[in-house]
A = this chain, B = another copy of it.
């Protein structure tokens, strides 16, 4: 079963709204074992919608069309569908009644243009509206099918789960399940990973299932995604477990998490398991690291707080750093010791560096010094040479420093 998605709306093409519906549908389809072929965004233009539906339907068994079912003149998905089906639109009295009642129940008079939403291509089946005014449509085209749903996400989600997915599964007659697992890595390039995993990749290409892909995710590191197809969910998971282990055998040192985990959540969890609290001192990252750690719900049982010592005076006075140049490993160590003491945390982590645009005290842009004060009084430090660009350097600093802490635990 191959299913494509067509998202209708000029506002999507103009970037005024990001099309998250297609992504959501792609995820749902994948986990139901249905292949996604294409996802297309097209504006509110009848000719182009019809052309898109026609060419998309040539290659797929099913299309889900999102949006363009509203009451206004630029909502023309119904007309496009009727043209593809080669039928007329006709008023569905039951739908009209429901829409009218919706308005009445909210104490409002129904504007006449709302009746457009009760127009249905002949031969199409209605997906009853439960959250909005527009019904969805199931429109057979020979052996194939087009589904139309409103673009409002929570209406779409509900109709997909209630009516579209069951219909798709009934049509596909296939019972196979597709499951993915993402291994999060940090510390090597995409090509470096590829080289270390070449044996696994060659083996996988022979067996064909699961598949492996690299997702370069900038300052989130490189993701290694395994996708397995099987008859049952547990068989798919078993396959993933086997190949997950083979991947880790080669790159165990780089894998810091799985699926929804990120460096922040992993570090917080590691600290939690060891019953250790963390305090941080930030200079170059200016609060970004604390901001990312506290984006994780439940950070408060581990994270004491941070001192953002952006001005050097704050380093000297509040963190007892020795006066002098402040981008060095010795300054980073003093910051770590100072913040551990000031915030009363078990561990002190500190970053100081140069984000640019210009170098500072002769230290190059991209230099990051990390200091770490451990519960036993041990103090260590390291220096990274990070990519240029203010935002990039700062984001890389956060994950590099947290990874240094993770490896030191």
CA of A22 to CA of B51 in the docked complex: distance in angstroms?
A: 20
Minimal Cβ-Cβ distance residue in B for A192:
B111
CA of A287 to CA of B218 in the docked complex: distance in angstroms?
A: 22
CA of A332 to CA of B213 in the docked complex: distance in angstroms?
A: 48
Chain B residues, Cβ within 8 Å of A289: 287, 291
Chain B residues, Cβ within 8 Å of A392: 131, 154
Number of copies of chain A assembled together: 2
Which of B42, B108, B153, B287 interacts with A38 by CB under 8 Å? B42
Provide the main secondary structure of the chain A interface. Answer: mixed
Chain B residues, Cβ within 8 Å of A195: 111-113
Chain B residues, Cβ within 8 Å of A114: 189, 191
Minimal Cβ-Cβ distance residue in B for A358:
B297
Which of B15, B27, B37, B291 interacts with A26 by CB under 8 Å? B15
Q: With A194-B111, A218-B153 in contact, do A15 and B11 touch (Cβ < 8 Å)? A: no
- Contact yes or no, A305 B305, CB < 8 A: no
Minimal Cβ-Cβ distance residue in B for A196:
B111
Minimal Cβ-Cβ distance residue in B for A296:
B390
A350 interface hit (Cβ, 8 Å): no
Q: Pick the interface stretch among A71-79, A83-91, A247-255, A372-380.
A: A71-79
CA of A192 to CA of B10 in the docked complex: distance in angstroms?
A: 21
- Contact yes or no, A36 B14, CB < 8 A: yes
Q: How far is the CB of A265 from chain B (nearest CB, A)?
A: 13
CA of A275 to CA of B308 in the docked complex: distance in angstroms?
A: 21
A310 interface hit (Cβ, 8 Å): yes
Chain B residues, Cβ within 8 Å of A48: 37-38
- Report the contact-size class of chain A (Cβ under 8 Å from the partner): 35 or more
- Contact yes or no, A287 B291, CB < 8 A: yes
A107 interface hit (Cβ, 8 Å): yes
A12 interface hit (Cβ, 8 Å): yes
Q: With A291-B286, A305-B310 in contact, do A41 and B43 touch (Cβ < 8 Å)? A: no
Q: Pick the interface stretch among A119-127, A139-147, A232-240, A311-319.
A: A311-319
Q: With A73-B194, A112-B195, A308-B305 in contact, do A297 and B357 touch (Cβ < 8 Å)? A: yes
Q: Which of A44, A70, A356 has the most CB of B within 10 A?
A: A70
- Contact yes or no, B154 A344, CB < 8 A: no
Which of B106, B191, B308 interacts with A287 by CB under 8 Å? B308
- Contact yes or no, B36 A13, CB < 8 A: yes
Q: How far is the CB of A396 from chain B (nearest CB, A)?
A: 11
Chain B residues, Cβ within 8 Å of A106: 385
A229 interface hit (Cβ, 8 Å): no
- Contact yes or no, A216 B16, CB < 8 A: yes
Q: Provide a sorted-by-A list of 28 A–B residue pairs whose CB atoms are within 8 angstroms.
A: A13-B26, A14-B27, A14-B180, A14-B213, A15-B22, A15-B30, A16-B213, A17-B215, A18-B18, A18-B19, A37-B48, A38-B42, A38-B52, A39-B40, A73-B194, A74-B213, A74-B214, A111-B189, A113-B191, A152-B218, A154-B389, A286-B294, A287-B293, A288-B291, A294-B394, A295-B394, A297-B390, A317-B344
- A positions within 8 Å CB-CB of B: 9-20, 22-28, 30, 36-44, 48, 51-52, 55, 59, 70-74, 103, 106-108, 110-114, 131, 133, 151-154, 180, 182, 189-192, 194-195, 201, 213-218, 225, 227, 277, 282, 285-295, 297, 299-300, 303-311, 313-314, 317-318, 342-344, 356-357, 385, 387-392, 394
Known: A285-B294, A287-B290. 12 other contacts (CB 8 A): A12-B39, A15-B30, A22-B41, A38-B42, A40-B41, A72-B190, A110-B191, A287-B288, A287-B292, A305-B310, A306-B308, A318-B343
